[in-house]
Amino acid sequence: MNHARLGVEVQTLDQSLADSFRMKAPNGALVAKIEPDSAAAHAGLKVGDVILEFNGSPIVDAGQLSAGVGAAAPGDKASLEVWRDGKAVTLNVTIGSAAPAEVAGTGDASASAQARLGLALRPLNPEERQQAGVSGGLVVEDAQGHAAEAGIQPGDVVLSVDGTPVQSVAQLRKMVQEHDKQVALLIQRGNNRLFVPVTLG
């Protein structure tokens, strides 16, 4: 896929993720990772943004974004309409040239209801943070219930909830309490990042 020319990894939304980001329909390409010093980083794109349009063309899924970026020449200017914090924002980006990047899968979100996340978590120690290349996050020691059904595994690192970085278990618990039915957790697994929607009940 051609997302590396933007310097992003994206995934296609499903309705669960759309609900988490307060969107009516699951259209767009959800940004799961941004490469440092990339076209996307220079344009001000953020993890958790949903790319809705590329140069005025609606983006329904990650594949359409790839096609749009692939059709642009290196150095071309493009406009991106993104969904951020409940509203649409327009960004201007200069297309780069890079090797292909991979698109993260959407995971298997469970639709059944349960009140809690079902995760045992602890903060990463400094050595683990350095190894993972992150400044914060919580490592999953055990996953049960909805979290396990959504595909979260022990060893995954939870980086953010609905795009907001998490540094402590107490912070994550508070953020989850403020949601009534759905959260999107940004997970790092090895070198890959993806948003996983988890039903709360």
Q: How confident is the model at residue 109 (pLDDT cuts 50, 70, 90)?
A: very low
Backbone angles phi, psi at 7, to 5 degrees: 85, 35
Q: How confident is the model at residue 160 (pLDDT cuts 50, 70, 90)?
A: very high
Q: How confident is the model at residue 116 (pLDDT cuts 50, 70, 90)?
A: low
Backbone angles phi, psi at 32, to 5 degrees: -100, -25
User: Residue 176 class from Cβ within 10 Å (0-12 exposed, 13-18 middle, 19+ buried)?
Assistant: middle
Give the residue-averaged pLDDT of 129-136.
86
Query: 10 Å Cβ neighbour count for 67?
Result: 13
Strand-pair category, 87-94 with 182-189: unpaired
Mind listing the pLDDT tens digit for each residue in 58-103?
Answer: 998 888 888 788 777 778 888 999 999 999 999 999 887 653 333 3
Q: How far apart are CA 9 and CA 47, in angstroms?
A: 9
pLDDT of 4 > 80? The answer is no
Q: How confident is the model at residue 115 (pLDDT cuts 50, 70, 90)?
A: very low
Note the pLDDT of residue 118: 80
Give the residue-averaged pLDDT of 92-115.
44
Note the pLDDT of residue 101: 33
Highest mean pLDDT among 124-128, 164-168, 175-179: 164-168
4 three-state secondary structure: helix
Q: How far apart are CA 132 and CA 129, in angstroms?
A: 5
Note the pLDDT of residue 189: 92
